[in-house]
Amino acid sequence: MESFNRIKLKNGLRLIFVPQPSSLATTVMVLVEAGSKYESKDKNGLSHFLEHMCFKGTIKRPRPIDIAGELDGLGAQYNAFTSHEFTSYYAKAKNEAFDKILDLVADLYLNPTFEEQEIEKEKGVIIEELNMYEDIPQRKVQELFMEIVYGDQPAGWPIGGQKDVIRKITRDDFTTYRNMHYLPQSTIVVVAGAHAGEAEQKNIADRIESYFTSLHEGGKGGKVKVIEAQDKPSELVRFKESDQTHFILGFRAFDVFDKRRYALQVLSDILGGGMSSRLFQKVREEMGAAYYVNASPDLFSDHGLIAAAAGVDHTKLEAVISAVLREYSRFKDEPVPIKELERAKDHLVGNLFLSVETSDELGYFYGGQEVMGVSLETPQVAAEKIKLVTADEIQAVAKELFVNNRLNLALIGPFKDRTFNAILKI
């Protein structure tokens, strides 16, 4: 796997080339430092709504079908997504279609028209997307967990926003927000795959520069720093008639720049990273209480989490919560055995290399680091840091994080006026 090349243009826009000579496809990806944490409460959901609107027409391609039809006609895979801290747009196609997907992705990012009629129609689409998530408790509980941990601040608000806010968004809201955040210095363009080779980089960089000179320039709007405040375990129980209870149980952690993130990553894998993980073996294999159970860290620019998630039998819920808490406690009480530690490292490293096999995932691996402000690492470097994690480092992280004033539970199930405070302690 070849390394990457990072270039910064005169206007501040960053380019990342990731060669993959054997790839049959090339990916063009644009990432921008604009997500729900950059919003005010009366505009919550605007970042995600804007992402949708970029596909609804440009000056060159005025109708949604003009964009989708051209991409489909190339056999391309394409999409966009919005997170708390950034938004990403991408297209992947056979190498022969590279010039066209570069033009398309640049066009939809740079030249959205925000037609009033399309805005009004898309409000219905966004609201139905929010309704869909309400009907998927496995997905909805993730929003509830962020709400119970962070409360009424941007980190605790849903990325998709609230329906009453979506209905009030106007064309001026899009243009104002875009001029605050969609700027050269906050934009990254990634080219990954066969067309990202050294011989082509100068020509492609010149073309990208010519496209993006039209990008509005100005001072970047910031985001509010996350306030961490908790003195005891917290819970949020949402009533819903369902066949399973879905819950997330986890702890406040640290930000993505913390060097302990590799120890937390290995700990999470041991806890719930696969079928040999402790939670899978305990909750599914031994207790027969769940179909899905897993654990993972989620680290941001100024805060972070580690959490376990499961969908369980209602009658076994308290037993499962207690079992998960005991598994968390084990990391504090006893060092991870060397055989289990090495298996988790091998699992993580193996998954890491499998995850960057395709040009889009390889592009996101580097683009995701860049947009978060993390120093770029190759998969090989990241793998070496995972391999260096020790049992002592894992135990030290567990002792610091797995305490009552960092513990949170979010839950969706058929429970009214029910509290789990009595067992919510570690």
How many CB atoms neighbour CB 43 within 10 A? 18
The backbone torsions φ and ψ at residue 233, rounded to the nearest 5 degrees and listed phi first, read: -60, 145
Residue in this structure with the two tokens 């993959």, named with its chain if needed? 20
DSSP per-residue letters across 348-367: HHHHHHHHTSSHHHHHHHHH
> What is the four-CA torsion angle of 20, 23, 26, 32, rounded to 10 degrees?
-50
Q: Rounded distance, CA 222 to CA 186, Å?
A: 11
- Give the Å distances, CA to CA, from 19 to 192, 198, 359, 377, 386: 6, 8, 9, 15, 24
Which entry of 33, 39, 51, 118 is annotated as an active-site residue? 51
Q: Is 128 a catalytic residue?
A: no
Do the Cβ atoms of 127 and 68 come closer than 8 Å? no
What tokens appear for 317 in the block?
């819920």
Q: How far is CA 188 from the centre of its chain?
A: 17
Do the Cβ atoms of 346 and 331 come closer than 8 Å? no
Do the Cβ atoms of 291 and 318 come closer than 8 Å? no
The number of helices, as runs of H, and strands, as runs of E, in the chain is 15, 11
The order of strands in the sheet holding 77-82 is 5-8, 14-19, 187-193, 25-32, 87-94, 77-82
Q: Rounded distance, CA 116 to CA 110, Å?
A: 18
Do the Cβ atoms of 266 and 238 come closer than 8 Å? no
For residue 112, the cross-strand partners are 58
Q: How far is CA 19 from the centre of its chain?
A: 24
Q: Rounded distance, CA 127 to CA 36, Å?
A: 17
H helices present in 86-162, as ranges: 98-110, 116-134, 137-150
Q: Rounded distance, CA 97 to CA 92, Å?
A: 9
What tokens appear for 360 in the block?
């889009």
| Residue positions annotated with a catalytic role | 51
